[in-house]
Each structure stands twice: as C-alpha cells, then as structure tokens.
Amino acid sequence: MINRYESGSLVNTLYCSKCLKTYNLNEIQTFATCCDKPLVFSYHLEKKTSKTIINNDIKSIWRYASFLPILSIKNIISLGEGLTPTSKIEILGKFINHEHLYLKDESGNPTGSFKARGLSVAVSKLKELGIQKCIIPTAGNAGGALAAYCAKANIEATIIIPRHTPKVFKDECAIYGAHLILVDGLINDCGTKAKALNKNGDYFDMSTLKEPYRLEGKKIMGYEIAEYFNWDLPDFIFYPAGGGTGLIGIWKAFQEMIALGWIKNKLPKMIAVQSSNCAPIKEAYKDSINWKEKFNPEPSIANGLAVPYPFGMDLMLNVIKESHGEVCTIEEEKIKETVHFFSQKEGILISPEGAATFMALSHLKNKGTVGKEDRVLLLNTGSGYKYIENVV
C-alpha cells in the first residue's frame, strides 16, 4: 500500500472506472485497456483528516497537493493555475428574479481557461514519468494550455486542432513553440489524426480522459467551490460540458470531501449544458445504447462544447444520475446573444460556454426546476476574449 510521498500526496490506487481493476501507479498509464474506459485515482481519505492539510501559503491548485497524484514536488510544473474568483451575479440575478446567483470565473487561469488546471497536473506527471513527447487533439483551449506547460517543462508538444477554430487559439500554440496541425472537421477528426500519427507510440496521448491525470487537476474546482461556500455546497451547479472532465472532476471532489467528512451529504444537482449543434450527452441521456446512430454533430461558436463522442460519456451520465441533475441544450443564436447581454450587464466578457449556462438557468427557472431561493453556481470555463471572432 502506498502512503505519503515527498509531495504529501495521499494517492492510493489507480483503477478502471468500470470494473475497478487496479493499474500500477508508478508506470506510464493511459486508459483502462480491460474495459476501454477512463482510469481514475483514489486516495487515502479518513474523516479525521483536518483541513489544515490544505497549504494556504500556496496560491494555486497545488495547495491541495495531498489530493493530486504527483509524488515529488520537484516535478510540479505550475504557472499559478487555480484559485479563480467566485462572485455574486447581482444585476442579472435581479433581471431573472434570482437572488442567490454566483459565477466561478475560470478566465483568469494561465492561457485563459480552466484547461490550465488539468494540464498543470498532466504535464507534471509527464515530467515525473520521464516522457518527452506528447500529442493532443483539441477544440482550442486545451491546446494552448498544453503548449504553455510543455514549454515550461521542456517537453515537445504536438497540437491537432480544427481548421475553423478562431485564429487566436492557433496562434498561441505556435507562440509557445508547439507543433501545430490543422484538420478539417471537429475534435473527433483531430483524434483520428492523432491516432494515426501515434501509431508507433512515439507520443504520450493527452486526449481527454484517455489519460488519468488531467481529471485530477480539474477536480480541484470542486474543492475551491466547497471552500468558497464554507463547505456548504450550492443547490445547483451549471457546467458547460464538452469532453466532461470538469463535470466529472467536480463531482469526484465532492465524493472525496464526503469521505473526508468536510462536507455534508447534501450535494448539488449537476446540470450539464450543451449547444444544440452538438449535444451528445442529451442524446445519450435519452438512449445510452443507440444514441450514436442518428447523431449528426455540427461546429459550435462555443468551441469547447463541440465534442461529439466524449470518451467519458458513462462517467458524465453517472454524475447526472447520481446528482439528480439533467442536460440542457441551448441554441447557437441564443448563446451568441447571451455573450453580448451578459457582458453588457455584468462587465464580464464571458465565453460562449459560460453564456450557455446562464441561458440554461433561465430555461430551468421557467420550467420550475430551479426555485427562487435555490443557490445556483454557474461556471465560466474560459475567457470571452478568445472567442470575439465567433461572436461579433
């Protein structure tokens, strides 16, 4: 049994998310080949664990290093990711007659999105494992984040991105020194290209949930949410779900904190928000077996939501089911209108993904799903500045 390492990590096992078969922590791992499903880390979690284990002197996700899988602090690659602000949204809250409305804004992360969290942990693990080359298919933000962290770690990064992606996403990858490849189609087409390029296993594949490390970085959003709300979680969390690591990670963090005795058993309803142009979760929620047969995905101005066939679908559906949540889809034109409306009212240039969560809240309030007194948290996963080309 593995106990504490130099970093203070409480990491325990790495296991298949379906059959629970364990995999070696100290070897390079991708996904669970036994079931073709994501691998997930577990930790030694005891109710007697004090919150003093959080290192408040560190102003990044690494204040929670005990719940991350890096075994030596010398391998940590950080650009100051995490500890993003949560604030009350008062003007638009009044507009929709909702007093307890909050926004966690991930736009202040390095490279402008929540992707920095996962890539900080993943690239740190690449360094720890001695990996020198990696490849990623991306809808945009993950490519820029990988390029930045690999630049600091002196690791070679190859980024495969849809040709129609706004220019700023492609430019930042190039500026950080990554090898950039453009592909016609969506992120699944980029994944196909990555697989072909990596047929000899020359690269470590950083595709969403086809490695277990990015999820751990994303889950720290859950710890930060709990800390902000003084360990009494909101009633609803609206999350813009593409590949799904954020949705899955936040829920994983809540489960860990229950085991630690840090939060009560009352958990938020998790609302997965998607674009009507590309809503695989909605299709799978209706028919988890045959959903792919008539699914025809299209690009979205919310690039991060254009993930047609997410590898973590089963895990996302489990989160929605376990939390008694649901899936909500928003029309493209409504997303665009809401970027302008939200920005003009609150002074925050919100991303299209974040804008979709506000429209989803309005929709569920009208349905009566969300009550006036419910505490609601919206997630803005990236900076709207990167999407100006899409929304002007």
**pLDDT tens digit string along 321-377?**
999 999 999 999 999 999 999 999 999 999 999 999 999 999 999 999 999 999 999
Position 7 pLDDT exceeds 80:
no
pLDDT-above-90 percentage for the chain = 95
Position 171 pLDDT exceeds 50:
yes
- What value does the mean pLDDT of the chain take? 95
CATH number for the region 85-392 comes to: 3.40.50.1100
Give ∠ CA 260-264-266 in degrees, rounded to 5.
130
Q: CA-based Rg of the chain, rounded to a whole angstrom?
A: 19
Distance CA 307, CA 279 (A): 8
Position 380 pLDDT exceeds 60:
yes
What number of residues does the chain have? 392
Residue 327, CA distances (Å) to 215, 270, 280, 283, 285 in order? 21, 9, 10, 10, 8
What's the average model confidence in pLDDT over 103-124? Answer: 98
Could you give phi then psi for residue 295, rounded to 5 degrees? -85, 125
Give ∠ CA 294-242-208 in degrees, rounded to 5.
105
274 forms beta bridges with 329
What pLDDT is attached to residue 264? 80
Q: Within the chain, where are the H helices? A: 90-95, 115-129, 141-153, 167-175, 187-197, 213-228, 245-260, 280-286, 313-323, 332-346, 352-367, 388-391
DSSP state of 29: -
What pLDDT is attached to residue 6? 64
Position 155 pLDDT exceeds 70:
yes
What pLDDT is attached to residue 228? 97
What pLDDT is attached to residue 3? 37
The SS3 assignment for 37 reads strand
Entry pTM? 0.96
What's the average model confidence in pLDDT over 30-59? Answer: 96
What pLDDT is attached to residue 1? 28
Position 5 pLDDT exceeds 70:
no
Could you give phi then psi for residue 356, rounded to 5 degrees? -60, -35
